Chains A and B, each alone.
Chain A
């Protein structure tokens, strides 16, 4: 590991250590924050007991389905809009505004329409994720080099073959950025919905544990969500960087 990496690790370990010490020495009330070691301990016990397996499967399942729908549908919509420049120009202001308005406030309205079930959570997850995928698809298709399209003409490739064998691989790094964003946005929307109002799911369990003053359970599940989100995001980020480097695209 590089020197910077070691310093970063040291800073994180120090921060966690300070929190641990402050909790153990009683500077922080255990009714407010419990020690990190206690959180980890509670998480391990909870995972071994299997009490929340069902809720975990539900939440992560909804996220996976929402992201899958958003990615496939978003790519298809992106292809469609890219083929219609006039529609695309008209949609441009909507794309610029979409993530600026809190889409999430639609969630209660969806609950009113579809009832308190898995449907509104799934829908808000898809809605929050799909536009990122559409925008990434448009960006990717814009950057397919002209010379590739000429090559396709020279080789008399049909439109379907051009789309699948040239456009898709050429746009892939940008599409992957869209997938990465879709995962992150889908995750946030599903967890937030479960927190605010849901019949079940990890967000609901955390919010119940909060109301019951069950701190070990609450912090254990928070830790679980944070670990899962961090690992997934870091893995996607690493793949994204590698693809971008291979294609010679510099990414921020």
Chain B
């Protein structure tokens, strides 16, 4: 009962947001901001076109590569700095200050190194995702209660058994949290890269639509990206929740 009421309340806020969109549309005019109804009908028409699918595929491919690099490098750094105390103590503040930098400032460097190419966009996306994955993996490993390792030794577990039955389950919830934030930031990095300099991808589509004053197309792409990011986030949050509350 309370769950349905909560869902209804959330839905009511969603409706209020769409209404606010309609009101804003009335205020600023149709060319600046088309209303929700024309935009959604445009979305239904535009999404199946080859143009959208090509650009969405380009973004997805770039994102998949960037995510693979973010996760692989982030986990490697995280495990190393979590397991080796001195490296962790030396590296953590450096990672934290890199994490808070506006990485877009460094995009021209990436462009000078890689040119306007897929590797450049992948690198820039991965630069965003690596740090949260590394930081949260490191903290997950550091927060393992020492008594777990003692128990593993008392039970004469082999190294492989210790990793798979003790270390992995103990660190997984926090690592998944890192992977979730890494997912979000990698996507942002890839989109920023496409917006700043690219000839394909959804970020390029938005910037291109802006210069042509194609507001419907801009909002369509934004809505699709929002839906993608929100769904992926919900899925990863659900996994995290399950991992935290397993018995």
Which residues of A does B touch, CB under 8 Å? 4, 7-8, 11-12, 31-33, 86-87, 89-94, 96-97, 99-102, 104-106, 108-109, 111-113, 184, 187-188, 191-192, 195-197, 203, 206-207, 210, 218, 222, 225-226, 229-230, 233-234, 237, 252
The closest CB in chain B to the CB of A224 belongs to B105
Stretch at the interface among B47-55, B74-82, B154-162, B202-210: B202-210
B37 within 8 A of A: no
Q: Which residue of A lies closest to B85 (CB)?
A: A4
Question: Is B191 engaged at the interface, CB distance under 8 Å to the other chain?
Answer: yes
In chain B, positions 183-220 with a C-beta closer than 8 Å to chain A are: 183-184, 187-188, 191-192, 195-196, 203, 206-207, 209-210, 213, 215, 218-219
Q: Are A191 and B104 in contact (CB under 8 A)?
A: yes
Q: What residue in chain B is nearest A87 (Cβ atoms)?
A: B9
With contacts A93-B10, A97-B230 taken as known, whether A112 is within 8 angstroms of B105 at the C-beta atoms is: no
Residue from the list A7, A90, A91, A102 in contact with B188, Cβ < 8 A: A102
**A112 and B13 in contact, given A188-B102, A191-B104 (Cβ under 8 angstroms):** no
The answer to whether A230 touches B97 (Cβ under 8 A) is yes
Residues of B close to A104: CB separation below 8 A: 188, 191-192
Q: How far is the CB of A204 from chain B (nearest CB, A)?
A: 12
In contact, B192 and A252 (Cβ under 8 angstroms): no
Q: A-B pairs with the 10 shortest C-beta distances? A: A90-B9, A100-B233, A108-B210, A210-B108, A101-B229, A188-B102, A233-B100, A4-B89, A191-B102, A192-B104
Q: Once the chains are docked, how many angstroms separate the CA of A86 from the CA of B8?
A: 11
Which residue of chain A is the closest to B32 with respect to CB atoms? A113
Closest residue of B by beta carbon distance from A184: B100
Q: Compute how far the CA of A92 lies from the CA of B237 in the bound complex, rounded to whole angstroms.
A: 13
Q: How far is the CB of A210 from chain B (nearest CB, A)?
A: 4
Q: Decide: A100 and B104 in contact? CB cutoff 8 A.
A: no
Kindly list chain B residues whose C-beta atoms are within 8 Å of the C-beta of A105. 191, 195, 203, 206, 221-222, 225
State the CA gap A44–B158 with chains docked (Å): 59
Are B100 and A94 in contact, CB atoms less than 8 angstroms apart? Answer: no
Is B86 among interface residues, defined by CB-CB distance under 8 A?
yes
Q: Any chain A CB within 8 A of the CB of B1?
A: no
Residues of chain A lying within 8 A (CB to CB) of residue B10? 90-94
With beta carbons under 8 angstroms apart, the residue of A8, A11, A108, A210 that contacts B206 is: A108
Check if B102 sits within 8 Å of A196, measured CB to CB: no
Question: Which residues from chain B contact A12 at a C-beta distance below 8 Å?
Answer: 94
